[in-house]
Amino acid sequence: METAYQPTPRTTPTRYRERAHYDRKAVHAILDEALICHLGYLGAGGPVVLPTTHARLGDTLYLHGSTGGGPMLAAKAAPSGLPVCVTVTLVDGLVLARAAMHHSVNFRSVVVLGAARVVDDPAEKLRALSCLLDHIRPGRAADCRIPNARELAATGVLCVDLVEVSAKVRTGAPVDDPEDAMLPHWAGVVPLSLKAGTPVPAADLDPAIPVPDYLAP
Amino acid sequence: METAYQPTPRTTPTRYRERAHYDRKAVHAILDEALICHLGYLGAGGPVVLPTTHARLGDTLYLHGSTGGGPMLAAKAAPSGLPVCVTVTLVDGLVLARAAMHHSVNFRSVVVLGAARVVDDPAEKLRALSCLLDHIRPGRAADCRIPNARELAATGVLCVDLVEVSAKVRTGAPVDDPEDAMLPHWAGVVPLSLKAGTPVPAADLDPAIPVPDYLAP
């Protein structure tokens, strides 16, 4: 297994090349941390971008869909695979510079280019759904009722091989021009992170069932 | 001004139609709260989805770009506008049901379909950049050095009219089948929100400059 993905013309940015990364572990860490992805494909009327959930298993990215949803229908109509771009983005901070021009966002993103295929094999579909559940919180797949045959048939899963993949990362402080350093504007970073609050039990949950450890903040 | 956007075939979901919303105020609130968007367009090799920042002014959505970036180059090559899909998604919670099948995510998303145009007029570009700064935190545009002519020329801005627009929202508790209610699995919602941490001043910031009020958590 190579330690890095091979850059291609499509995964080589035209600007800020120093922010691009192809290291397999770095790419996987971003994909695994992001709760949702944005799936782009060419619909009947032009490009379409929809949020959905994803999970990675080795070098396969699984995407959740519903059998009647747009991406599933488009993928079913493309037996050799539906060209897609799957992008995940973690927002880590607001970067405030003295100059308007140098404002930025600290982020970690991954762009996956490839052909999405419909997962039809029931065993692979079950495995994918298990990954999608454990992606929410590791341990959840083993702590719920698994899908029955009817439910499995009603759930759509797409998969994309991780081959043409890149990450882009910005970290750290604002970069102002030296001549702006003395301007009277606050400059720095406001850190941002997605925080989990206290779990809210369903109204009809048996009060004897505790919040599982895997949901502890 | 109509109070709602007009649904079109492209903004009418094939599933979960009850989650679709076209109310102008509801759509604007989601666009205004989301810090970043995902911009989809058709690149040379297929669909491309990139994260960027956005800001709304009335019924115009401005997107930040760099003059040499892919979307800007594609938009420049499309004088009648580049077909795009701009999607923003706010993740509000993890929805854990007893059944694997009924797991979900509470979210608010907006999908904007349209033709992106390059903002060339310097006055409109300045106004757009001001909106982009105030989108980060209202008040910031007035508290930084405005772009000079060279910087303005080096910054790319795209705009899309808000016409073909829809929101999709899921809120509330998991919906399990009645026969699953007695299963021994925890069910409920884990609330999620993007939280701002304590602002970190730039290393060379004059310590006499306080954190501005608009950055207070």
Angle at the Cα of A3 from the Cα atoms of A172 and A8, rounded to 5 degrees: 80
Mean pLDDT across the stretch B92-109?
A: 97
> Nearest-CA residue of chain B relative to A182?
B206
For the domain made up of A9-170, give the CATH fold: Pnp Oxidase; Chain A (2.30.110)
Q: Do A204 and B196 touch (CB under 8 A)?
A: no
pLDDT, position A69: 85
Please give the structure tokens belonging to residue B92.
Answer: 């509000």
Q: How confident is the model at residue B171 (pLDDT cuts 50, 70, 90)?
A: very high
- Point out the residue among B46, B51, B100 whose CB comes nearest to the CB of A113: B46
For chain B, where are the alpha helices, taking DSSP H only? 24-33, 70-76, 122-136, 149-154
pLDDT, position B17: 82
Return the minimum-mean-pLDDT range out of A29-33, A78-82, B54-58, B140-144: A78-82
pLDDT, position B84: 97
Name the CA radius of gyration of chain A, rounded: 20
Q: Which residue has the higher pLDDT, A66 or A1?
A: A66
Tell me the CB-side half-sphere exposure of residue A111, using CA atoms within 13 A. Answer: 23
pLDDT, position A123: 94
Q: How confident is the model at residue A88 (pLDDT cuts 50, 70, 90)?
A: very high
CB neighbour burial string for B49-76, b if at least 16 within 10 angstroms, e if fewer = bbbbbbbbbeebbbbbbbeebbbbbbbe
pLDDT, position A96: 98
> Nearest-CA residue of chain B relative to A64?
B104
Residues 14-73 of A with CB under 8 A from B: 14-16, 35-36, 38-51, 53, 66, 68-70, 73
pLDDT, position A19: 86
Return the minimum-mean-pLDDT range out of A178-187, B58-67, B88-97, B185-194: B58-67
pLDDT in tens, A139-167: 999 999 999 999 999 899 999 999 999 99
